Amino acid sequence: MCARRRPVRRRGPPAGQHQAGQHPAVQHPAVQHPAVQRLDGQRLAGQSRAGERGSGTVLAVGVLGAVLLLTAVALPLVAALAVSQSVQGATDAAALAAADTASGRVAGVPCAAAAEAARLNGASVTVCTVDGLIVSVTAVRGYLGFELGARARAGPPGAGEGPFG
């Protein structure tokens, strides 16, 4: 006994019937042109729109420009933070040098010692006040046309108790 094979069913319209505008023997030449679009605005499969050529390049240039702009703005700000920390370190060193001089550990004038310590660290003292053994120093450093400043206080342990001395 022989097994009977089932007939293969084809998908699509029944034989001899075609969808509107899709007769196999007749195709309009405009259908094959890449610039032809369907009425609903969709492009035909595998075809590109002629007006979109080069748009990826423009997008890439725009993104690159935005990244460069953000970098150009961010780098000076990050460098300003580093300079600000450097000024704070110079001011701390100046206040400690002045406090050592005010306490008598080192000979000299407290504010002169503060000015020298700040100069060696790349800053300049603008205000120096001595109140007994406690010294307050304000120093600045120029960066891109701006002056970045810092304040520091120093003295012996226990002097100037409290949050503000």
In the chain, domain spans = 59-154
> What pTM was estimated for this model as a whole?
0.58
- Span 23-30, mean pLDDT? 54
Q: How far is CA 27 from the centre of its chain?
A: 56
Q: Are 145 and 155 contacting, i.e. CB atoms less than 8 angstroms apart?
A: no
pLDDT bucket at 120, cuts 50 / 70 / 90: very high
Give strand ranges (E) for the chain.
124-131, 134-143, 146-154
Percent of the chain's residues with pLDDT above 70 = 66
Its sign, for the CA torsion 159, 162, 163, 165, is negative
